[in-house]
Amino acid sequence: MAITPTPEQVAALIGAPVAGIEALSGGASSATYAVDALRPDGTAWPLILQCAATGSVPEGGLPRRDQALLQQRMHEAGLPVAEVVRVLEPADGLGEGYVMARLPGEALAPRWLKLPEYAAARDGLTAQVGAVLAQLHAQPLALVADLKLPTGSTAEALGKMFANYRRFGVDSPVFDLAFAWLKERVADRPADTIVHGDFRSGNFLISTAGLEAVLDWELAHLGDGHEDLGWLCCNAWRFGLWDRPVGGFGQREALYAAYEAAGGGPVDRERVRLWEVWGTLKWGIACLQLGDDHVSGRLKSVERAAIGRRVSEVELDLMHIFAKGDV
């Protein structure tokens, strides 16, 4: 279990007084807290503390220390990312994690995608996220050479995803068709770019002015930058707004134009389509994984069991792509 911190502990961590701590979310192995601290001049210093039991690495993800360092370097490089204030050390006794700035904004995509007060923010968002991805993908690998970012060629990554699918002992003709489709088309590209790995509408912090921050860097890895462009356009992140393929708020061509205008290099339409199929399949396998939490008894819950049935949505999206060209 994660350890619940006291205000005194957090104050010692950041070297500033702490007025309050509120648990925002907690799981079996990690927890997030809102911390209200005070700066030396007495003004409010809103922070987030993320901590987890020692040694618990997020599924397929980055050790938390490396995640914090990556986030901090991206912040310093000028990307919209919350500043990391303090990385937890073993001597702190709070497990693994970090303290970062708590920025104002709405993180629940179904809210900012639909509420009228975010209309102006949505209008500018496609250009903003295109430019952010261009900037991220332009960062030199030397910047992260000391971090344990997972890496591997696209062919290796496809092999890993297939092995993951087979773990569940499920035979989905649609998933196997998608694997065959990908195998035929995937070039064995080297991993030469920093990829966010979970760049979707659910991981944006949005104010009425637009994008405030890109959240959740725990699936960052080295790979093909087109992966981020494709993942962002998967139907699962549109929350029903299917005719706006970019996260439920924009059009693909506008995204690619913004990416290219910001120096992201030419967007290969076939390759980005491949990553949309890949991303759709990846979300489908995540649904299998969540369903397996229930079936295996690891986490028995009606919610996990029900998510297993969302595989049908993914199968239909994939068949829509194969029968009609895209979704």
Partner 1 sequence: MAEQIEAATLIEAVAGFLAELEPELKGRRAFHAKVAQNALAIVARELAQAPQAREQALLAGVLGHDAPLDMLRADICKGLRAGTLGQGTPGLIAALLQVALAKCAVDNPRYATFRRLAV
24 contacts partner 1 (rule: CB under 8 A) = no
Among 172, 193, 201, 203, binds partner 1 (CB under 8 A): 172
168 contacts partner 1 (rule: CB under 8 A) = no
How near is the Cβ of 159 to partner 1 at its closest, in Å? Answer: 13
163 contacts partner 1 (rule: CB under 8 A) = no
Among 96, 106, 228, 315, binds partner 1 (CB under 8 A): 315
Query: Position of tokens 């030419």?
Result: 266
180 contacts partner 1 (rule: CB under 8 A) = yes
In contact, 32 and 58? CB cutoff 8 Å: no
Site residues (CB under 8 A) for partner 1, limited to 283-302: 301-302
Q: Which residues contact 44 (CB under 8 A, 6 or more apart)?
A: 36, 37, 38
How near is the Cβ of 238 to partner 1 at its closest, in Å? Answer: 7
Q: How would you class 266 by CB atoms within 10 Å of its CB: exposed for 0-12, middle for 13-18, buried for 19 or more?
A: exposed
3-state secondary structure of 121: helix
CA distance 288 to 119: 35
Site residues (CB under 8 A) for partner 1, limited to 217-276: 235, 238, 240-242
4 contacts partner 1 (rule: CB under 8 A) = no
Site residues (CB under 8 A) for partner 1, limited to 39-58: none
CA distance 136 to 229: 12
Q: Which is nearer to partner 1, 136 or 157 (CB)?
A: 157
CA distance 288 to 311: 7
End-to-end CA distance of the chain: 41
Token pair belonging to 310: 């969302």
Among 53, 168, 322, 326, binds partner 1 (CB under 8 A): 322
Name the site residues for partner 1 (rule: CB under 8 A): 171-174, 176-177, 179-181, 235, 238, 240-242, 301-303, 305-306, 309-310, 312-313, 315-320, 322-323, 327
